[in-house]
Structure 1
Amino acid sequence: MWQWQTWSELPYLTCDLLADWQHGFFTRQFNPREPHELTPVLAANASTHRLKQIHGKIVLTPTEIASTTEVEVETGNALGDGMLTEQPVQAVWVASADCNPILIANRHTGNVAAVHAGWRGTSLKIATVAVERLLLQGGNLTDIIVAIGPAIAGEVYQVTTQVGLEVCASIGLKPLSGDLEADAADLQSLPNSPLLPDSQAGRVRLDVRRVNQLQLERMGVAPHQILIAPHCTFQEPEHFFSYRREKLKKIQWSGIVSK
């Protein structure tokens, strides 16, 4: 369901769920190219849209991006972590290293969204915000398809127990008592839990990809409409930058073009 593609001998990933849309999860080999340089790889005539990411839940359209006063002073880029298209042939892009790049399409309208979901944005349910906004344009939940791209895998992503519980609270798997260790143990005992044990006291392992998947499923997106890439940014240095691994602020881009 995930395919390696090449452009000028450089590799990037596509997802079969999104086969009707030009899209790509690009690798470190494309660095330092920016979205305006990557859009022609997908569609030569598409307009390019990006944001200054802030680890929140703001999702904007190109019209809103053009009119907002909430911008990064240096670049003029609007602040936010998700974009959705309004017209055909608009390319929306997000940057990530270990965070989740999520590409979403609406089969009814042809519009798409690109979302950057780190643990903070995930705790704020940014992926569901993007889906809700896509559905305001038409269609229903059966029209939504989601590809969660390469990100750090749960088995290697160590966070504090507090952070792990905060993120998992967004899916409401079990009521929390306030006892961090007891609550973590309860969540870890659930089948296919996104919260995993860690040998260090006060720490857990967190599968942010799985949390996003569960949030979408709980809002009514069927499991077969969601795919998670079988690639870990931390464990595959040949393809991906990872802040956790390298402590460098280097990223790869993921983008999709509306129909």
Structure 2
Amino acid sequence: MTLPSVTDPALAGLPHGFFTRAGGVSTGPYASLNASLSGGDDRAAVMENRARVARALGAQAEHLLGLTQVHSADVVTVTEPWAPGEGPRADALVTRVRGLALGVITADCSPILFADHAAGIVGAAHAGWRGAVAGILEATVDAMAALGADRARIVAVVGPCIRQPSYEVAADLRDAVLARDAADSRFFAAGRPERWQFDLAGYCAARLRSASIGAVAVTEGDTAAEPDRFFSHRRRTLAGGGSIGHQISGIRCDA
């Protein structure tokens, strides 16, 4: 079956997708393509969901690799597969090994997929606001360059995430972002008293453009505002809590 996903022309020719919550076998709050092994979902269901994603990317199930994501600026250079659920603590992966697929899990944070088509090097990053401020995106570009990618050829696509109209934040987040660069106030729109609306996708795209890579694109999709398409931590929180699934975004190295 074909899994619903968001793709982008900047990555044309490379198997990739920002997958939605549809097309899997999980039930209840995890319905249906929950791809997170760290939640309370049935492991067998998650493994089947991830196998479906791997097939959609043209990879073997055991070659779809993920991380233990910790909102860091740490990047792993992948040379061989590891067991499901045993990924290193980091928030981005890069590889030039043909056939490996790199995946990141999100439920409002930004998933970013990278490629230098000519060099056959790909990357995937998970960027919440903490990781983005800390430099996870630039670190991913640096790791790709260390493998032989040309920065001027690297393309990066920011996938579906919580968008500015849905992302109300308080002074602590705004202060942390502005402590790095006061000019980034442009990513905050006025909201309720002592609250702002943060443009996470725009912030990530701007950080990537500042890294002097070849091209940056931003897809459609607001995870918090589209319950039929995406899981959302913010939506779950506003509803009073409970279990939650996570979508996956992935890209396969096809050098």
TM over 0.5: same fold? yes
Distance in 1 (CA, whole Å) between partners of 2:55 and 2:78 is: 18
AA at the equivalent of 1:77: G
SS of 2:114's equivalent in the other structure is strand
Distance in 1 (CA, whole Å) between partners of 2:77 and 2:148 is: 15
Residue 107 of structure 1 and its aligned partner are, at CA, apart by 2.4
Residue 35 of structure 1 and its aligned partner are, at CA, apart by 3.2
Instruction: Return the match for 1:216 from 190, 205, 208.
Output: 208
Query: Aligned residue for 2:56?
Result: 41
Residue 217 of structure 1 and its aligned partner are, at CA, apart by 1.3
1:197 aligns with 2:216: no
Unaligned runs of 5+ in 2: 25-32, 35-45, 238-242
1:226 aligns with 2:253: no
Residue 75 of structure 1 and its aligned partner are, at CA, apart by 4.2
Tell me if structure 2 keeps the 8 A contact 1:59–1:80: yes
SS of 2:169's equivalent in the other structure is strand
Pairwise CA RMSD of aligned residues? 2.2
Residue 64 of structure 1 and its aligned partner are, at CA, apart by 8.2
TM-score, normalised on structure 2?
0.81
1:166 aligns with 2:176: yes
Counterparts of 1:6-25 in structure 2 under 5 Å? 8=1, 10-25=3-18
Residue 58 of structure 1 and its aligned partner are, at CA, apart by 1.2
Query: Aligned residue for 1:85?
Result: 95
Decide whether aligned partners of structure 1 residues 240 and 80 sit closer, same or farther in structure 2, where only a CA change above 3 A counts: same
Query: Aligned residue for 2:69?
Result: 53
AA at the equivalent of 1:140: D
Decide whether aligned partners of structure 1 residues 22 and 206 sit closer, same or farther in structure 2, where only a CA change above 3 A counts: same
Identity within the alignment, %: 30
Query: Aligned residue for 2:20?
Result: 27
Decide whether aligned partners of structure 1 residues 87 and 64 sit closer, same or farther in structure 2, where only a CA change above 3 A counts: closer
Distance in 1 (CA, whole Å) between partners of 2:112 and 2:59 is: 22
1:181-229 deviation digits (Å, cap 9, x = unpaired): xxxxxx65xxxx211111132x21111111111111112125xx11111
1:95 aligns with 2:105: yes
TM-score, normalised on structure 1?
0.80
Distance in 1 (CA, whole Å) between partners of 2:15 and 2:221 is: 20
SS of 1:52's equivalent in the other structure is coil
Distance in 2 (CA, whole Å) between partners of 1:258 and 1:118 is: 24
Equivalences, count? 226
AA at the equivalent of 2:231: F
Residue 22 of structure 1 and its aligned partner are, at CA, apart by 0.1
AA at the equivalent of 1:216: L
Residue 169 of structure 1 and its aligned partner are, at CA, apart by 4.2
Tell me if structure 2 keeps the 8 A contact 1:35–1:93: no
Unaligned runs of 5+ in 1: 1-7, 175-186
Distance in 1 (CA, whole Å) between partners of 2:96 and 2:19 is: 24
Distance in 1 (CA, whole Å) between partners of 2:87 and 2:117 is: 29
Query: Aligned residue for 1:5?
Result: none
Provide runs of 4+ in structure 1 moved above 4 Å.
none
Tell me if structure 2 keeps the 8 A contact 1:88–1:111: no
AA at the equivalent of 1:207: D
